[in-house]
Amino acid sequence: MQATDLKPHAAKARYLSVALPPLAGFLLLIWGLIHHPLPWQGSLDWAPSLGLTFAVYVDGLSAQFLALITGIGALVFLYATGYLAGEPRQGRLFLILTVFMLAMIGVVIADHLLLLFLFWELTSLTSFLLVGFYHENEQSRTSARQALLVTMSGGLALLAAILLLGEISGGYSLQALIAQGPTLADDPRLPAALILLLVGCFTKSAQFPFHFWLPNAMTAPTPVSAYLHSATMVKLGIYLLARLDPALNHLLLWESALMSIGTLTAVWGAVLALRERDLKRILAWSTVSALGTLTLLIGLPNPGAGLAVAAFLFAHALYKAPLFMVAGNIDHATGTRVIDHLMGLHRAMPWTAMAAILAGLSMAGLPLSFGFVAKDLISVAKADAEVLTVVSYATLFVNAIAAAVAGIATLRVFGGPPRWPRGEAHEVSWRMALPPLLIALVAIEFEFLPGVADPLLGAAAIAIAPSLGVIRDIDASYPSGKVITATEITLLVGLILFLIWDWLHGLLQRIHWLDRIGPTACYELLLKQLTRVAAWQTGLLQRGRLAGYLSWTLTGLLALAIGASFAMHQASEPGWGGLLDWSTLVFADWPAQHWAWLTAAVLMIAGAAASMVLRHRMALLMASGLVGYGSAVLFLFTGAPDLAFTQFAVETALVVVAAALLPHYGAPPVLSNEPVLRNALLALASGAGVLLLLVHLFALPADAQLATWFGEASLPLAHGRNVVNVIIVDFRALDTLGEITVVMFSLLAALPLLGALARSVKREG
């Protein structure tokens, strides 16, 4: 009995231990910040011959993200142990979450752009697994696929941007690129690189028109939503934009794109939040709106926007993570997240209600919360930047919607008379109630003890805007006039929106054309058209006949040969003299190897001609073998004896094996409708195309640099005198290993067939 009683406690202890790695990372970060001044940097050679280094750089911005990734990550992991209690696959989720966390850390500390891209794409892959965790649900699979397609497509654009920026700046160091920023403006390739970079960042951080994937990702478990939407995945694009802003903020394209797209995303996300009744989707659309606000702030030209970005990044993470956890607690306790069925939960769930109220204060921007400080700094940044009036009013509307959403998540759900679907709601376990409460309390602590947050936020702000200079304290007196008035107007409009939420929801729901146009509808249409194109292409190319595949292959080869010959013709005249030196046609003057070449040509021509007229399978096999033997003779007398002997062995083995198997098959099918004339013309054209390529190749000057290097390096570096063997075994060892692996797997795949054939022969015998 004692052992049985200990099993649940042992299981809890085992799953609680998953929170230790992020907690250890957070404590190590705090220790490092106390004892070692920023920045931290280092590098390790990865592939020196390719210029790849594992370079890391940690400044204030990286440290802020590391604090969010590990600090909130530790509490999310703790929350997940309670939320997923009894889930048999929770170990798999924790493993993927850990890999995801490590990928996030890799992105924010990488100083090499290609290393950053590697971790960037790893976050997309792991988020796909996290969003589709409940893979038995079709909606989860669809949402995961949508998130992957959107973010990975943006990743390809980001890779192209990285390659262009590397060519423009002469390297892939992120800090070197930032230092060279003002000198890159005159490069004609920079606008294309910027557009590709913006596409990559916008897809990751759900900016218009790529915003639709984020709310659909709500099919993920609540701990995943709380982590991805507050501290990690969706803020990667914001991180890279903020990181590169010091290098690019002097460009009109950069500023105008960030300000316009950021404003549009913020407003559109806020409007779409009004159409939702699911609490998690309401919070998700408010996240889209907040990401748009961050993008807008990065695009502001004044240095004070850097401090606003750093403060709002912290504030948003500290209220959005607990609110997502609150939504998960409500779903866990009542079985629903639809706000129409929820009211008066503060009696049944007092600790969850307290976490919701504290987080809601910060989201609404009320005094005594860190959200109030962040929104104050946003107002100051906008005032200093003298932004367009429409942008200023747009941000006021967005803040009002945020206040209304905070009211929905707190007053509406937890206030009023009790009402929920289940007969008996109850408070969740401490592992689900404590994490949101702790995160919300941290935001309140930053308001009352600003000295705790000032150093990190100041360092992050300087990393975003190096010209910021002296950072004013977060607890400095707030501007009295315009900012206070804007706050009052925001709260008043937010209260009105909260009171008429249901009316606005019904109004927007009746506007059905919103669902027929826009990015979401375009995405669905694109998928349908892609399916149709794939079906048409498959029907055109994959007809199940080897002759058809060969025809398409030869046609492609012919097109490639013609295109290459035209390109090479611009650089050199055709080398007919190198290919056919007519003076050598005097047979008495021919060297011995020329006679061997002529013999090889005769064998191949005879084999090809015989293959055209013969119909018996064995005869066809022997005729095609002549082509192989002719090739082997050519290899033998052109300095590749090892390749020649391999060709001889393969051709002999093929003939022997095929001759042994052919009697077990019936008569060959009669191909009466085979287009003989078309095939003959295609064969002649293909041969002419290859001849044309050879003519141009012979016209190119010989480059012996590579052959000379291999000849000189073979003995001292690889201790081998046979250059060909050294290349295969040493210089191309991985390539050779791959080829051997393919052959081995082919043999393993063929073993069952060979065994079945042997048993069949034995029975017949």
**pLDDT tens track for 77-99:** 999 988 888 788 888 899 999 99
Q: Rounded mean pLDDT of 406-430? A: 80
Letter for the amino acid at 727? I
> Tell me: the pLDDT tens digits for 277-320?
889 999 999 999 999 999 999 988 877 788 889 989 989 999 99
Count of residues for the chain?
Answer: 765
Residues 6 or more apart from 128 whose CB is under 8 A from it?
144, 145, 147, 148
> Would you state the pLDDT for residue 554?
83
Q: What backbone torsions phi and psi does residue 215 show, to the nearest 5 degrees?
A: -65, -30
Backbone dihedral region of 386: left (phi > 0), alpha (psi from -120 to 50 degrees) or beta? left
> Would you state the pLDDT for residue 569?
62
The number of angstroms, rounded, from the C-alpha of 79 to the middle of its chain's C-alpha atoms is 27
Letter for the amino acid at 38? L
Burial degree of 615 (CB within 10 A; 0-12, 13-18, 19+): exposed
Q: Which two tokens stand for residue 609?
A: 């001609």
The dihedral through the CA atoms of 305, 308, 312, 314 has a sign that is: positive
Helix (H) or strand (E) holding 204: helix 190-204
Q: Rounded mean pLDDT of 575-587? A: 49
The answer to whether residues 415 and 343 touch, using CB atoms and an 8 Å cutoff, is yes
The answer to whether residues 362 and 326 touch, using CB atoms and an 8 Å cutoff, is no
Q: Where are the beta strands (DSSP E) in 151-212?
A: none
Nearest to 127 by CA among 203, 217, 202: 217
As a whole number of angstroms, the distance between CA 232 and CA 104 comes to: 7
The answer to whether residues 626 and 604 touch, using CB atoms and an 8 Å cutoff, is yes
As a whole number of angstroms, the distance between CA 278 and CA 256 comes to: 34
Of the segments 341-345, 582-586, 669-673, which one has the largest average pLDDT value? Answer: 341-345
Helix (H) or strand (E) holding 56: strand 52-58
Checking if the pLDDT of 703 tops 70, the result is yes
Cα→Cα distances 486→295, 363, 477, Å: 21, 16, 16
Q: Which two tokens stand for residue 165?
A: 């920026």
Confidence of residue 258 (pLDDT cuts 50, 70, 90): very high
The answer to whether residues 170 and 141 touch, using CB atoms and an 8 Å cutoff, is no
Helix (H) or strand (E) holding 521: helix 519-541
Checking if the pLDDT of 6 tops 50, the result is no
Checking if the pLDDT of 482 tops 70, the result is no
Share of the chain above pLDDT 70, in %: 87
Half-sphere exposure of 267 toward its Cβ, with a 13 Å CA cutoff? 13
Q: Which two tokens stand for residue 567?
A: 């390109």
As a whole number of angstroms, the distance between CA 399 and CA 471 comes to: 25
Find the Cα–Cα–Cα–Cα dihedral 84, 89, 92, 98, rounded to 10°: 0
> Would you state the pLDDT for residue 294?
93
Cα-atom radius of gyration of the chain, to the nearest Å?
34
Checking if the pLDDT of 3 tops 50, the result is no
The number of angstroms, rounded, from the C-alpha of 73 to the middle of its chain's C-alpha atoms is 21
> Would you state the pLDDT for residue 387?
63
Q: Rounded mean pLDDT of 675-682? A: 78
Confidence of residue 668 (pLDDT cuts 50, 70, 90): low
Q: Rounded mean pLDDT of 117-141? A: 92
Q: What angle do CA 424, 426, 431 make, to 5 degrees?
A: 155
The answer to whether residues 74 and 113 touch, using CB atoms and an 8 Å cutoff, is no
Checking if the pLDDT of 475 tops 50, the result is no
Decide which of 261 and 612 is more confident: 261
As a whole number of angstroms, the distance between CA 101 and CA 73 comes to: 8
Decide which of 482 and 488 is more confident: 488
As a whole number of angstroms, the distance between CA 256 and CA 247 comes to: 15
Q: Which two tokens stand for residue 52?
A: 């790849």
Of the segments 137-146, 295-304, 554-563, which one has the largest average pLDDT value? Answer: 137-146
The answer to whether residues 323 and 360 touch, using CB atoms and an 8 Å cutoff, is yes
Burial degree of 551 (CB within 10 A; 0-12, 13-18, 19+): middle
The answer to whether residues 352 and 342 touch, using CB atoms and an 8 Å cutoff, is no
Question: How many other C-beta atoms can be found within 10 angstroms of the C-beta atom of residue 183?
Answer: 11
Using a CB cutoff of 8 Å and minimum separation of 24, what contacts does 593-602 make? Answer: 593/637, 593/638, 596/633, 596/634, 596/636, 596/637, 597/634, 597/637, 597/638, 599/630, 599/633, 600/630, 600/631, 600/633, 600/634, 600/637, 601/630, 601/634, 602/630
* Terminal C-alpha separation, the chain: 66
As a whole number of angstroms, the distance between CA 604 and CA 631 comes to: 7
Q: Largest alpha-carbon pair distance within the chain?
A: 112
Confidence of residue 571 (pLDDT cuts 50, 70, 90): low
Placement of tokens 């796909």 in the chain: 128
Backbone dihedral region of 240: left (phi > 0), alpha (psi from -120 to 50 degrees) or beta? alpha
Q: Rounded mean pLDDT of 44-51? A: 76
Residues 6 or more apart from 552 whose CB is under 8 A from it?
541
Letter for the amino acid at 513? W
Q: Rounded mean pLDDT of 115-123? A: 94
Using DSSP, state whether 420 is helix, strand or coil: coil
Q: Rounded mean pLDDT of 48-77? A: 89
> Would you state the pLDDT for residue 15?
66
Nearest to 217 by CA among 288, 318, 270: 288
The answer to whether residues 273 and 398 touch, using CB atoms and an 8 Å cutoff, is no
> Would you state the pLDDT for residue 354?
93
Decide which of 117 and 87 is more confident: 117
Confidence of residue 1 (pLDDT cuts 50, 70, 90): very low
> Would you state the pLDDT for residue 298?
92
Confidence of residue 74 (pLDDT cuts 50, 70, 90): very high
Reduced DSSP (H G I as helix, E B as strand, rest coil) percent helix, strand, coil of the chain, to 5 = 80, 5, 20
Letter for the amino acid at 719? H
The answer to whether residues 456 and 38 touch, using CB atoms and an 8 Å cutoff, is no
As a whole number of angstroms, the distance between CA 186 and CA 188 comes to: 6
Decide which of 115 and 426 is more confident: 115
> Would you state the pLDDT for residue 323?
93
Confidence of residue 473 (pLDDT cuts 50, 70, 90): very low
The answer to whether residues 274 and 508 touch, using CB atoms and an 8 Å cutoff, is yes
Placement of tokens 């290098």 in the chain: 247
> Would you state the pLDDT for residue 2?
40
> Would you state the pLDDT for residue 65?
94
As a whole number of angstroms, the distance between CA 284 and CA 218 comes to: 8
Nearest to 146 by CA among 134, 128, 170: 128
Checking if the pLDDT of 439 tops 70, the result is yes
Q: What backbone torsions phi and psi does residue 473 show, to the nearest 5 degrees?
A: -65, 145
Checking if the pLDDT of 388 tops 80, the result is no
Using a CB cutoff of 8 Å and minimum separation of 24, what contacts does 627-632 make? Answer: 627/603, 628/654, 629/603, 630/599, 630/600, 630/601, 630/602, 630/603, 630/604, 631/600, 631/604
The answer to whether residues 241 and 201 touch, using CB atoms and an 8 Å cutoff, is yes
Q: Rounded mean pLDDT of 213-224? A: 89
Confidence of residue 61 (pLDDT cuts 50, 70, 90): very high
The answer to whether residues 241 and 464 touch, using CB atoms and an 8 Å cutoff, is no
> Would you state the pLDDT for residue 283?
92
3-state secondary structure string across 132-183 = CCCCCCHHHHHHHHHHHHHHHHHHHHHHHHHHHHHHHHCCCEHHHHHHCHHH
> Tell me: the pLDDT tens digits for 20-45?
889 999 999 999 988 888 889 988 88
pTM across the whole model: 0.80
Q: Across the chain, what does the average pLDDT equal?
A: 82
> Would you state the pLDDT for residue 385?
61
Using DSSP, state whether 46 is helix, strand or coil: strand
Among 572-576, 605-609, 692-696, which is the least confidently predicted range?
Answer: 572-576
Cα→Cα distances 469→38, 304, 466, 580, Å: 17, 10, 7, 75
Among 180-189, 352-361, 514-523, which is the least confidently predicted range?
Answer: 514-523
> Tell me: the pLDDT tens digits for 496-539?
888 888 888 888 877 777 777 778 888 888 889 988 998 888 88
Checking if the pLDDT of 481 tops 60, the result is no
